[in-house]
């Protein structure tokens, strides 16, 4: 009896494992057929790296923390990779879902070496989560160029500066994009309550959430509203996207926001799952709007509730970096690229952009555009007097924040609800 039960249990367990593994399989999609046939040839010729013929195609690698089609952070990188392929005639080799939950037992530096084995001479690490691994990899592979997006290891004025000649940090000044997002939210909310779907807590996420708040506050007050009537609350889920059982569920967090009077939720995580929830609640009669993040076309997921998306356009800076690697002018640098204020949505020049969403009213859209023009004209919201969340002074009256003060923002700002650090 006991034995039968045990056998049954084992069978069930094995079945469970198979099924859970099967769950992921259909993702095998949209394979560029060319890659499948070309790539194995590269593996079998390890010598290719050294005795490269002159006209050889430049191969670069891309490691993405989330799925390449996440409608957010990773997809923006994937599209940038396609842009590079087109502009440079280069070839991309990539691996997505590079995180310990999706690829157990592996580390990003190990996976980067798999891309090098496919011929990559430059590897892009696309996540803060891979910062340590990118350093390890760059030091272990001094002849491979490394771009670490969103990091600050090679910022001479930064807090963790290290000299790593083959590594460059690239980030966009998303503060501006987030300010516009906050502005759009403030001009859309009826309740004056804005929710911010935060990922994990660190310097980057604190400064971006705070930027959204500053933009919201600015536009709220410009529109003649009572400053005290604005509520801005941040809820952190614990990682860049949902990991079941590990993070808070961002869909649930969005739902909590929408059903407690926060009629606009700004996504700060790697994908716009708040839009899906907004769409559902809107159809049930709860006014719910959302701001997406990271990827230019993210609003397409739910246009009827999407009021805008601040996004990264990694192509132009990556193009410069790869070109410099190709022609021998590579320099290790820290790049924190501003939007191209002449046209923030120019795909060839602007690293940061903002698109008004279909759900944004015409008046609000005009006001957001005017706000963007003001920012382009030099309006600085990181200017005093500003206090930290706990009331201690951040910037004195008339003081403008330095890059370091913005990058390493140590707390949320006064007026924001939510944790500044883990308790």
Partner 1 sequence: MLKGRLGAVLFQLIALVLALGFVSLILISAGASPMEAFKNMFTGSFGSMRKFAEVLVTFVPLLLVTAGLLITFSAGLWNIGVEGQIVLGAITTAGVLRVFVDSTLPPALIITLAILGGMIGGALWASLAGLLKTFGGVNEIFGGLGLNFVSTALTLYLIFGPWKRDGVASMSGTEPFPDHFSLPQVPELRISLWALGIAVVGIVFVYFILQGTYFGLKLKAVGKNFRAAYLLGIPTWQYSMYSFLICGALAGAAGAMQVTAVYHRLIPSISSGYGYLGLMVAMLINYQAIWAVPVALFFAALNIGSIQLPIVMKLDSSLAGVLQGVLVLFVLLMEGARQKFVKKA
Cα dihedral across residues 377, 177, 132, 110: positive or negative? negative
* Alpha carbons 78 and 258: distance in angstroms, whole number: 31
17 binding partner 1? (CB under 8 A): yes
For the four alpha carbons of 257, 259, 262 and 268, in that order, the dihedral sign comes to: positive
DSSP annotation of 245 reads T
Region near partner 1 per CB under 8 A, out of 194-202, 223-231, 310-318, 320-328 = 194-202
Nearer to partner 1, 17 or 223 (CB): 17
Residue 294 binds partner 1 (CB under 8 A) = no
Span from 237-245, 250-258, 345-353, 360-368 in contact with partner 1 (CB under 8 A): 237-245
The answer to whether 368 contacts partner 1 (rule: CB under 8 A) is no
Segment 84 to 123, residues that bind partner 1, using CB under 8 A:
93-96, 100-101, 103-107, 110-111, 113-115, 117-118
Per CB under 8 A, does 28 bind partner 1?
A: yes
| DSSP H/E element including 94 | strand 91-95
Of 45, 82, 160, 246, which lies in the binding site for partner 1, with binding defined by CB under 8 A? 246
Q: How far apart are CA 370 and CA 107, in angstroms?
A: 45
Q: List the interface residues with partner 1, window 34-53 (CB under 8 A).
A: 35-36, 39-40, 43-44, 46
Binding region for partner 1 (CB under 8 A) out of 12-20, 227-235, 297-305, 348-356: 12-20
Give the burial string for 379-392 (b: 16+ CB within 10 Å, else e).
eebbeeebebbeee
Return the residue of 245, 285, 328, 391 that touches partner 1, per CB under 8 A. Answer: 245
Interstrand relation of 145-149 and 122-125 (parallel, antiparallel or unpaired): parallel
Q: What angle do CA 387, 393, 395 make, to 5 degrees?
A: 80
Tell me the three state secondary structure of residue 195.
strand
CB-facing half-sphere around the CA of 109: CA atoms within 13 A: 11
Kindly report whether the peptide bond that precedes residue 385 is cis, defined as omega within 30 degrees of 0.
Answer: yes
Q: How far is the CB of 240 from partner 1 (least distance, A)?
A: 9
Rule CB under 8 A: which residues touch partner 1? 6-7, 9-11, 13-15, 17-18, 20-32, 35-36, 39-40, 43-44, 46, 93-96, 100-101, 103-107, 110-111, 113-115, 117-118, 128-129, 132, 200-203, 236, 238-239, 243, 245-247, 410, 419, 421-423
């Amino acid at each position: 009896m006991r034995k039968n039960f045990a056998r049954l249990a084992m069978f069930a367990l094995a079945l469970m494992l198979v099924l859970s593994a099967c769950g992921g399989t259909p993702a095998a999609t949209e394979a560029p057929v060319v890659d499948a046939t070309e790539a194995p040839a590269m593996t079998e010729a390890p010598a290719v790296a050294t005795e490269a013929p002159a006209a050889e195609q430049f191969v670069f690698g891309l490691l993405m923390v989330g799925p390449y089609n996440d409608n957010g952070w990773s997809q923006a990188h994937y599209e940038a990779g396609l842009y590079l392929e087109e502009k440079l005639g280069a070839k991309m080799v990539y691996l997505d879902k590079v995180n310990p939950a999706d690829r157990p037992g592996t580390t990003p530096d190990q996976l980067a070496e798999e891309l090098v084995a496919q011929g990559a001479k430059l590897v892009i690490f696309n996540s803060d989560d891979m910062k340590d691994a990118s350093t390890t990899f760059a030091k272990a592979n001094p002849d491979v160029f490394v771009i670490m997006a969103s990091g600050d290891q090679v910022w001479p004025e930064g807090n963790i500066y290290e000299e790593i000649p083959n590594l460059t940090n690239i980030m966009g000044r998303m503060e501006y994009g987030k300010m516009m997002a906050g502005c759009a939210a403030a001009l859309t909310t009826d309740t004056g309550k804005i929710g911010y779907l935060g990922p994990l807590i660190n310097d980057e996420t604190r400064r971006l959430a705070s930027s959204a708040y500053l933009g919201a506050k600015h536009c709220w007050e410009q529109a003649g509203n009572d400053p005290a009537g604005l509520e801005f609350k941040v809820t952190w889920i614990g990682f860049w996207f949902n990991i079941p059982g590990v993070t808070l569920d961002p869909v649930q967090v969005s739902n909590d926001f929408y059903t407690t009077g926060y009629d606009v939720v700004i996504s700060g995580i790697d994908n716009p799952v708040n839009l899906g929830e907004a769409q559902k609640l809107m159809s049930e009669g709860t006014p719910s709007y959302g701001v997406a993040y990271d990827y230019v076309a993210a609003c397409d997921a739910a246009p009827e509730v999407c009021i805008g998306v601040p996004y990264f356009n990694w192509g132009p800076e990556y193009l410069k970096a790869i070109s410099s690697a190709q022609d021998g002018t590579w320099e290790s640098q820290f790049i924190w690229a501003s939007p191209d204020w002449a046209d923030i949505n120019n795909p060839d020049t602007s690293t940061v952009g903002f698109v008004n969403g279909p759900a944004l009213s015409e008046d609000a859209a005009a006001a957001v555009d005017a706000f963007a023009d003001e920012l382009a004209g030099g309006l600085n919201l990181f200017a005093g007097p500003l206090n930290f969340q706990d009331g201690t002074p951040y910037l004195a009256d008339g003081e403008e924040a330095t890059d370091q003060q913005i990058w390493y923002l140590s707390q949320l700002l006064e007026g924001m609800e939510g944790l500044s650090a883990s308790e």
